[in-house]
Amino acid sequence: MIAVDIGNSQLHFKAPTGSAAVPWDRLAAESHGTDRHGTDRHGADRLWEALQQSPLAPLLRETHPETACDWWISSVNPPATAALRQALATQRPLDRCHEIRSVDVPLGDRLQNRAATGVDRLLVAWYASRFFEPTATGSLVVDAGSAVTVDWVDAAGDFRGGMIYPGFAVSGRSLQRGTAALPPVTAIDLQAPLPLPAGTSTQAAIEAGLFWSQWGGMCSAIEALQKFAQRTTQAEQPATGTSPLGLAWLEPPQVILTGGGIAAFQSLLPPHWRWEPDLLLRAILEWADRHISAANTVSPAAADSAGNPASGGEDHR
């Protein structure tokens, strides 16, 4: 079983042979367009080459039927997902891909359009709300990658929405593209010691601005959403559950952070915030285990008569 997180910048995977990340920019550097099915065959070849240089290599070299793998995929990047599917169809045709959809995540919600909500947001919210003890006002899940999402799951386990804003790399590229003379700055530049607030060169000033605006924005987003969760929870309480102390009697939601963009802030994180770097991959594996267990409890005849509605979006090749 291999868990795969296909994001806008990287593919992350977790398998028995190890975990790693494959950056998409490296794969797309020599793209030659798509075929008649819309698949970037060169991108698929490049992806396969990268996977063979990753901790997956020993597993991928085994092509016997008994070594066929199930790939459980959470994706917000359809072209990259198509490249992975193409690579597997060509190189490991016995493997099976199961793409998890937003509607498959066992999480209640108060959303306007659940199907349009990223499956990654729903999966980490589901996992955090089920496997970390929430407060009376629930949990906040912060996932920092190409975009930063700050989402609220209430104490009843319902996804209540949240915020999305640009992450390090997107902000840096936007600044460079929108100006005539400013140089590019990547998130990698910000992993070293904390930038001084007063940069004494253009490069240092950009690094300082990106870093401290990202940190300040994250803290402000968390604070605003915590207060919103407290107010909303209090308003939804029965009259007998209110208190003259106002919001003070309601503990704010716990804060759980994940994603590669959090690493730069590690030394600044308050001790009561939980940093769980591989939260999405753990959520994928947990969802897959539950899906497999549920499928094994359904008789073949019942599954056939129902059209196998619990397929979880799987695609058997």
Per-residue model confidence as pLDDT tens digits over 222-240: 999 999 999 999 888 765 4
- At residue 61, φ and ψ (nearest 5 deg) are -70, -20
Q: Which residues are catalytic?
A: 120
Q: What is the pTM of this model?
A: 0.81
CB atoms within 10 A of CB 114: 16
Domain ranges of the chain: 2-102, 132-277
Angle at 226 between CA 222 and CA 228, to 5 degrees: 120
Residue-wise pLDDT tens digits, 15-63: 887 788 877 765 544 443 444 444 455 678 888 888 888 888 888 887 7
Closest CA to 275 of 120, 148, 143: 143
Q: What is the pLDDT of residue 79?
A: 87
Query: Looking at domain 132-277, which of 3.30.300.20, 3.30.420.40, 3.40.50.960, 3.40.50.720 is its CATH number?
Result: 3.30.420.40
Q: Do domains 2-102 and 132-277 have the same CATH topology?
A: yes
Q: Give 138's DSSP letter.
A: B
Distance CA 175, CA 210 (A): 10
Alpha helices by DSSP H, 115-259: 119-131, 168-177, 202-236
The residues, any chain, with a CB within 8 Å of residue 15's CB and separated by 6 or more, are: 1, 2, 3, 55, 56, 59
Cross-strand partners of 275: 257
Q: Indicate the helix (H) or strand (E) that contains 279.
A: helix 279-296
Low-confidence residues of the chain, pLDDT below 50? 28-39, 240, 302-303, 305-317
Give the pLDDT score at 312: 44
Which CATH number does 2-102 carry? 3.30.420.40
For residue 182, give the DSSP letter. Answer: P
